[in-house]
Structure formats: C-alpha cells, structure tokens
C-alpha cells in the first residue's frame, strides 16, 4: 500500500516548490510495496528535473529497524507519515498501522521530529493515549471539520483561504 498519487504530488509540490529551491530538502519516500516505476513516472511528469533529483524512493517497512537505518531516519530533519486516503483499506486499520509506525520512529529515533497524519479524529485520541505528542498528530477529519466550521462562521473564509493557498505562476514570477 501507499498513499494516493494526489496526496503525494501535493506533498512533493509543496516541499519542492520553486519559490524556495535554494533550500530544497532531500525527500525520501518509503513504501512497503514496490511501486518504484509508477512513482518514478509520477514524479517525472510532475516535477522539474532539479526537483526530481531530490526525491528518493525505497521499498521497506517503517517497522523494520534495518529499513529505517537504510533510509537514515536518525539523520532526517523531519519524518512525515502520510495516510492512504484512497479508501483502499479501512480507515481505522490505516490509522492503527500509522500509529504503530509513529511509535516505532518515536521509540527508536527520539530526536527525529515527525508528523503523523491520521484519517479519523478518534484515532488522534488513541495516538495521544499511547504517548505521541499532540504537536506531532493531525487528522484529516479534524482539518475538514475546522475548515467547514470557519466557512460557516466567517463569510468569505473560503474565498480568502483559496486566495492564500492558490498562487499562480504569474504572481510568483512578478514577486
């Protein structure tokens, strides 16, 4: 399994955006399944050549110490655990597995910061109960609810948010 293509592309496009190309990090993607050809094709179609050189794909388990050492989690500036939002597996199972991945990283690499993406808000309570810091966990459902609440409470919220998020290439070239 792996996260859906749209989520991966949004993640990569944000991290490897042209506006901060002088400080691009190396992005290491790990999946338990061998989707290297599909992933390489996806990256080559969506990112420019220089950004592509910063993306590395590995097959391995985030629960296997040897695989985590192979991708140098100890030296990582940040680990992001993305949930599979395609619905190909039950969301509760996906969240439980991602909590286990986060615990593995937290216990074996206590100085490596991480973010954990969960699908259900209830799963966030489980993550906090097992000791994952609140600042490291967010749930997709919580974000959707917060956006909906703000859009109901504040007229024009959606328009403002869209204008803040969406920046055209023309705007960037002039700024």
18: domain CATH number?
Answer: 3.40.50.720
Query: Is 117 inside a domain boundary?
Result: yes
- The answer to whether 117 and 140 have CB atoms below 8 angstroms apart is yes
The alpha-helical segments, DSSP class H, found in the chain are 5-15, 36-46, 49-52, 65-70, 91-108, 121-129, 140-153, 157-165, 169-174
Show the domain range for 84.
5-139
Query: Is 168 inside a domain boundary?
Result: no
What pLDDT, on a 0 to 100 scale, did the predictor assign at position 134?
Answer: 94
Query: Is 164 inside a domain boundary?
Result: no
Three-state secondary structure call for residue 130: coil
What predicted TM-score, i.e. pTM, was given to this entire model? 0.77
Residues 6+ apart with CB under 8 A from 72: 28
Total structural domains in the chain?
1
Query: Is 151 inside a domain boundary?
Result: no
Read off the pLDDT of each residue in 10-21 and give the average, rounded to a whole number.
85
Query: Is 152 inside a domain boundary?
Result: no
pLDDT: is 1 or 46 the higher one? 46
Distance CA 158, CA 23 (A): 30
Query: Is 134 inside a domain boundary?
Result: yes
Tens-place pLDDT, residues 94-140: 999 999 999 999 999 999 999 999 999 899 999 999 999 999 998 88
Three-state secondary structure call for residue 137: strand
The DSSP-derived string for 17-54 is -GGGGGGPPPEEEEESS--HHHHHHHHHHHS-HHHHTT
Tens-place pLDDT, residues 70-97: 999 999 999 999 888 877 778 899 999 9
């Amino acid at each position: 399994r792996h996260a859906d293509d749209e989520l991966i592309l949004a993640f990569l496009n944000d991290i490897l955006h042209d506006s901060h190309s002088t400080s691009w990090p190396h992005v290491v993607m790990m999946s338990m399944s061998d989707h290297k050809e599909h992933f390489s094709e996806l990256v080559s179609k969506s990112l420019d050549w220089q950004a592509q050189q910063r993306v590395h794909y590995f097959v391995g388990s985030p629960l296997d110490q040897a695989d985590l050492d192979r991708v140098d989690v100890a030296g990582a500036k940040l680990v992001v655990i993305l949930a599979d939002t395609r619905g190909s597996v039950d969301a509760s199972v996906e969240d439980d597995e991602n909590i286990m991945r986060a615990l593995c990283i937290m216990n074996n690499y206590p100085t490596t910061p991480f973010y954990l993406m969960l699908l259900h808000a209830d799963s966030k309570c489980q993550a906090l109960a097992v000791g994952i810091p609140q600042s490291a966990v967010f749930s997709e459902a919580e974000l959707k609810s917060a956006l909906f609440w703000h859009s109901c409470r504040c007229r024009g919220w959606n328009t403002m948010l869209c204008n803040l998020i969406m920046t055209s290439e023309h705007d960037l070239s002039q700024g």
